[in-house]
Amino acid sequence: MKDIFDALEIGHNKFLDALSDATAWSPSERLTALEAQATEISNVTGTLGLELTSHFMKAVDGHRDRLQKNLSELGDALTGVAKAQGAGTLPQALESYWKDAGQRMILTLDTLRQRGDNFLEHEDAGCPPVLVYDYEKVMDGADLPKPCNYVLLKIIPPKDSKFREPKSFKRPYIIIDPRAGHGAGIGGFKPDSQVGVALRDGHPVYFVAFRRMPEKGQTLADITSAEAAFVRKVMDLHPDAPKPVVTGNCQGGWATLLLAASNPDLTGPVILNGAPVATWSGLIGENPMRYNAGLLGGTWNAMYYSDLGHGIFDGADIVQNFELLNPGRNYFGKYYDLYAKADTEPQRFLDFERWWGGYFLLNEAEMKWIVEQLFVGNKLCKNEAQLEPGRNVDIKKVQAPIIVFASWGDNITPPPQALDWIVDNYTDEREIAIWGQRIIYMVHDQVGHLGIFVSSKIAKKEHTEVTSTLKTIEALAPGLYEMTIDDYEGDLMERSFTVSFHERKMDDLRKINDGREDEVPFAAVARASEHQAEFYDVCVRPFVQAGVTEQSAEFRRKTHPLRVQHTALSSMNPFLNWLPGWAEKVKETREPVEEDNPFLALQKANAALFEQSMDFFRDMRDAAYENMFFSIWGTPYMRWFGRTHQPGRTLKRKEELRSLPPVQGALMHVDKGGFCEAIVRMLILLAESRGNVRRDRLERSSRLLNQQEPFKSLTQDERSFILQEQTLIVEFAPKKAVTTLPELLKTKAERELASKVVRYIPGAISEMDPHTLEMLQKFHQVLGLDPNFGDVTEDPLASGYSAALSAVGKENAAVTTAPAVKQGPAETEEKTQQAVSAASRTPRRTTAKPTARKSAAGQKSARKPAARNKPRNTTKKSEEPAE
C-alpha cells in the first residue's frame, strides 16, 4: 500500500522535513498518496456500511416474522383468557395452572439441586470423561518422557446385538475431544454419537481424554507428542489393521491437524469436526466471536488471567465467553425448557450439564500458544505456527486424507473458519494433488456447533456416512472434493446413504466466504497484541505475580460465577434441605395442567417474547461490537500498521507448479511401470472426463485397488505412491499419459484384461458420459484393441490376476481361429460415433454438474519400486475387508 504512512519508513526527522518542504514530493506523488488514502477510507466505509446493513437486515428478517408470530400467540392466549372468563371457568383454570406451575417450580429447583450435587461429585472425582460407554485406560501421558495430563482410553462396546464384536484387523478410530474449558466425552456423550457409529460397525474405538489439572510445565508440543505416542500404541495393538482414523472435534480439530502435520506418516484419514483453523475468517454481520482479541486485548489477556491463577488459566472463563454468545438460550431458554417440561426434561438437562459444567484448567504456556498462534496470530494458515522453536507446522505435509465437516448453523466455528485454511495454503486445487493430498469437505445447512458431534440426527446421518465411506475414500485421486449425501433408504438405525464426490476448485471454496477484505484489520490486531504482551510481560506482570498466591488463585477459581451457580443450588446449601422431600411429594401427587389451559398458553407466549427480547439485545450488541472493531482496526493507519502481519502465506504461481520436484520425478517415469500403473492411470483419465464420482463406482474402484490382485499385494504406501505419481502424469502430460500406455501393457492379454477392468469400474455403457466413452475409445485405439466393446458387469479380477490373464489369452486364441471380419476406418469411426451419441441421449443420474478436473497428485522425493505384474506372496488374512 502506497500512501503517506510509507513516509514513516524513511525516519522521523526526514518525515518532518518532507512535511515542511513543498518540493519534497512532486504533485503526482502527493496525488497518488491522496488517492491511496481515499481508497483506504472508502474500503473502511464500505465495510462499515456492509456490516450495518447486514445487521439491520438480519434484525428485520430474523425478528419481524418471529415477533408477529409471538404477538399472535399472545393475542390468542389473551382471547382464551377472555373466553374462559365469559364461560365462567377462569377461576378453575387459574387454580389448575397455579398448582401445576408450583409443582413444576419445585421439580425445576430440585433438578438444579441435583445439578449442583453432580457438579460437586464430578469435581471430587477429578472430572472424569462423561462417556456413556465403559472404558479402560490404555496409556497415560503422565508416564511419557515429556509428561502431560492426556490419557488414551479404549471404549468397551456394550453387550448389545446392535454392536458388532470389534475386529483386530478393522481400522481403529481415535477421537480427540476439545479442551476449551470443558472436559472430554462429548464425542461419546450419546449412544448415537461418533463412538456409537464406529462401534456398531465393529471398529475398535479409542478416546483421547484429559485430566482436570495439567502437568506442571506441559506445553502444546508435549500434548502433540503424547497424541503421537497414543497413535503408535494403537497401531501396535492392531498390527493387521490400516492406519487409524483420527477424529478431532472443535478445538480437538486443529490439535488433530497439528498431530498429522507433525507426524505425516502416522495417521490414517483425519476428520475435522467444526475445527477453527482459519480463525480470522467469517462473515460480516454473522460471527462476532472472532473480534474478541481486537476488543479485549489479545495475548496479554490470557497472560493476565493465568497470572491471577498462579500460572493456571481457568477454563471457566472460556465457557463464560461461549455462554455470552447466546445469552437468551444460555441464561433463559434452557432453564425455561426445563421448567416447561419438568416431567420429561430433567435427565437430558442433567446429562448435558455434567459435561457443560465441568471446568478444566490449562497452563499459561498452553493458553498463550493457543491465543498467540491461532486466534490472534492465525499462524497455522500462514505456515508460521511453531510447536517448538525452529519447527514450523506445515499443513502441506499431511499425507492422509483430510475430511472437514462444517455447518452454517455453527456460530463458534462457521464454515469459512473451517475451510479457508485450504485457500490460504495452496495455490490452487492442482497443488493439493501435487502434494498427494485428498481434502474432502461437507457443509451442513443448519446444525449448531455442539450438534456437529452431539446431535443424534447428525450422528445417524453425516457421521455414519463418513464412517462407511472411509472404506472407499482413499481410492480417490488426490485433489479437492465436496462430499454430498444425495439419498438414503432404510429405517433410522439401519439407514444407508447414497453419496457422491464432486471435484471442486478453489473458487468454489472462496464462494463460501463473503470476501477476505474484512480480514485485513486482524493483522493490525496481531501486531498490537505482540506489543501489548511485551509491555505486560516487562512492566506489569512482576507486580501482578507478586500479589498472587496459590491460595488466592484457588479462591478465585472457587468463587467464579459459573461454579457458584452450581454450588449455591446444591445440597451444601442448608436452606435447600426441604427441597428433596417436597420434590418426592410433588412427584407422587403430580397433576399436570391441561394443554388447552389459557394461562399455560399465556406463559408460553410471554416466555417466547422475553427470549426474543434477549436475542434482539444480543444482535444489537453484536452489531455495536463489530462496528467498534472495524472503526478502530479498519482505519487506514491501522491497515498500514498491520502490513507486516497480513493474512496468507507466499504461494507458488501456477506456472511454477510444474517445476516442483514431485512433478518432475513423475514425468521422468511416464513410460515406466506395469499393469498396476496402467490401470490406475486409465482410471484417473476416466475420472478426468467425469468430474464427479458416484458412490457405486468408487466402491468398485476401492474394491479393485484394495482387495484384488495384483493390487492386494501392494502396501498402502506403495498403492498411494502409484496413485499420486499417475495423477501427476495425467495432469501435466495428458497426451503422453495415453500414448505411452502400450509401454506399460506389453502383451495382448494384458491389454485386453486392462480394458475389461477399466470398463467394469464405470458400469453400464448406458450410464457413461460421452467423454467417458470417447476416452475408452482412445484406450482401445492406442492399445490396438477392437473399438467395439460391450458392458462388463462382473469383476474381471475376481478369480485372480493370473487366472484372469489366462482366460483372456484363451479368448484371444479362440478369436484368432475364427474368421475375421475386416472393417474399414470409416466403419469403425461410424460405430464409435453411434456409441457416443447413444450415450449422450441416454438419461443418466447425476447429482451435480461435473466440473473440469484440474488436480494432480504428488509423490515422495524418492521413487519406490514399481508394482510387478506378478502378484506377491503374502500371508493369508481374513477375507473381510480391513476397513
CA distances from 707 to 346, 393, 475, 711, 831 (A): 50, 35, 12, 7, 35
Q: Of 356-365, 477-486, 718-727, give the range with the top mean pLDDT.
A: 356-365
* pLDDT for res 303: 95
Q: pLDDT tens for residues 761-788? A: 877 777 777 788 888 888 888 888 887 7
What's the CA gap between 760 and 779, in Å, rounded? 14
Is the predicted pLDDT of residue 583 greater than 90, yes or no?
A: yes
State how far the Cα of 17 lies from the Cα of 10, in Å rounded to an integer: 11
* Distance from C-alpha of 644 to C-alpha of 878, rounded to nearest angstrom: 57
DSSP class per residue in 168-233: TTSPPEEEE---SSS-S-GGGSSTTSHHHHHHHTT--EEEEEE-SSPPTT--HHHHHHHHHHHHHH
Task: Give the CA distances from residue 506 to residues 23, 419, 437, 502, 811, in Å, rounded to whole numbers and listed in that order.
Answer: 48, 11, 15, 13, 48
Q: What's the confidence (pLDDT) of residue 799?
A: 77
CB 741 within 8 A of CB 678: yes
pLDDT (0 to 100) of residue 879: 38
- Tell me whether residue 656 is exposed, middle or buried, using C-beta atoms within 10 angstroms of its C-beta: 0 to 12, 13 to 18, 19 or more: exposed
User: CA-CA distance, 423 to 507, in Å (whole number)?
Assistant: 9
**Residues contacting residue 198 through CB under 8 Å, at least 6 positions apart:** 173, 205, 467
Full DSSP string of 274-299: S---STT---TTT-GGGGHHHHH-TH
> One-letter amino acid identity for 388?
E
C-alpha cell at 296: 479485549
Q: Which residue has the higher pLDDT, 706 or 847?
A: 706
Tell me the mean pLDDT in the region 428-456.
75
CA distance 417 to 274: 9
Q: What is the mean pLDDT of residues 201-213?
A: 88
Taking residue 873's Cβ as centre, other Cβ atoms within 10 Å add up to 6
Residue 493 pLDDT class (50, 70, 90 cuts): very low
* Nearest Cα residue to 169 out of 707, 874, 880, 713: 880
Per residue in 313-347, pLDDT (tens digit) is 999 999 998 898 889 999 999 999 999 999 999 99
| The predicted structure's pLDDT at residue 882 | 40
Higher-pLDDT residue of 417, 30:
417
State the DSSP H helix or E strand holding residue 315, giving kind and residue range, or none if neither: helix 315-325
Q: Give the residues across from 208 on adjacent strands.
A: 152, 176
Q: How far apart are CA 729 and CA 737, in angstroms?
A: 6
596, three cell numbers: 388447552
Mention every residue, 6+ apart, whose C-beta is less than 8 A from residue 581. none
Note the pLDDT of residue 198.
Answer: 74
CA distance 79 to 689: 65
In this predicted model, what pLDDT tens digit does every residue of 122-146 receive, in sequence order?
A: 988 888 888 878 889 999 999 999 9
| Cα–Cα distance measured from residue 408 to residue 140, given in angstroms and rounded to the nearest whole number | 37
Model's pTM, two decimal places?
Answer: 0.78
Say what the pLDDT of residue 863 is. 38
Answer whether residue 4 shows pLDDT above 70.
no
Helix, strand, coil distribution of the chain in percent, nearest 5: 55, 10, 35
Where in 665-705 does DSSP place strands (E)?
692-694
The answer to whether the CB of 3 falls within 8 A of the CB of 37 is yes
Q: With a cut of 90, say whether residue 362 has pLDDT above it.
A: yes
pLDDT digits (tens, 9 = 90+) for 454-492: 554 544 555 555 555 666 677 777 889 988 876 655 554
Residue 302 CA to chain centroid, in angstroms?
A: 26
Q: Is the previous residue joined to 710 through a cis bond, with omega within 30 degrees of 0? A: yes
Report the candidate in 63, 220, 231, 77 with the shortest Cα–Cα distance to residue 139: 231
Report helix, strand or coil for 767.
helix
The residue-averaged pLDDT of 650-671 equals 78
Is pLDDT above 60 for 12?
A: no
pLDDT of residue 766: 75
**What pLDDT score was predicted for residue 258?**
93
- Judge contact between 856 and 434, C-beta under 8 A: yes
Q: Which residues contact 537 (CB under 8 A, 6 or more apart)?
A: 300, 303
Q: Is the pLDDT of residue 543 over 90?
A: yes
Q: Quick check: helix, strand or coil at residue 482?
A: strand
Q: How far apart are the first and last CA of the chain?
A: 53
Mean pLDDT of 685-698: 66
What pLDDT is attached to residue 520? Answer: 87
The residue type found at 55 is H
Q: Which one-letter amino acid corresponds to residue 626?
A: E
Res 761: pLDDT: 80
Cα distances from 152 to residues 146, 167, 184, 364, in angstroms, run 15, 19, 11, 24
Confidence of residue 52 (pLDDT cuts 50, 70, 90): confident
E-assigned strands of 89-162? Answer: 134-140, 150-156
Among candidates 444, 428, 430, 466, which has minimal Cα distance to 666? Answer: 430
The torsion of the CA quartet 226, 189, 123, 247, rounded to 10 degrees, works out to: 20
Q: How confident is the model at residue 234 (pLDDT cuts 50, 70, 90)?
A: very high
Q: pLDDT tens digit string along 61-87?
A: 778 888 999 999 999 999 999 999 988
pLDDT exceeds cutoff 50 at 845? no
CA atoms of 859 and 190, how far apart (whole Å): 41
Is the predicted pLDDT of residue 191 greater than 80, yes or no?
A: no
Q: What is the mean pLDDT of residues 187-202?
A: 64
Residue 151 has pLDDT above 90, yes or no: yes
- The span from the CA of 417 to the CA of 406, in Å, is 9
* pLDDT tens-digit readout, 847-882: 333 333 333 333 333 333 343 333 333 333 343 444
Closest by CA to 308, choosing from 535, 536, 566, 563, is: 536
Q: What's the mean per-residue pLDDT of the chain?
A: 80
Nearest CA among 67, 108, 98 for reference residue 599: 98
> What mean pLDDT do residues 90-104 have?
93
Residue 812: the pLDDT is 63
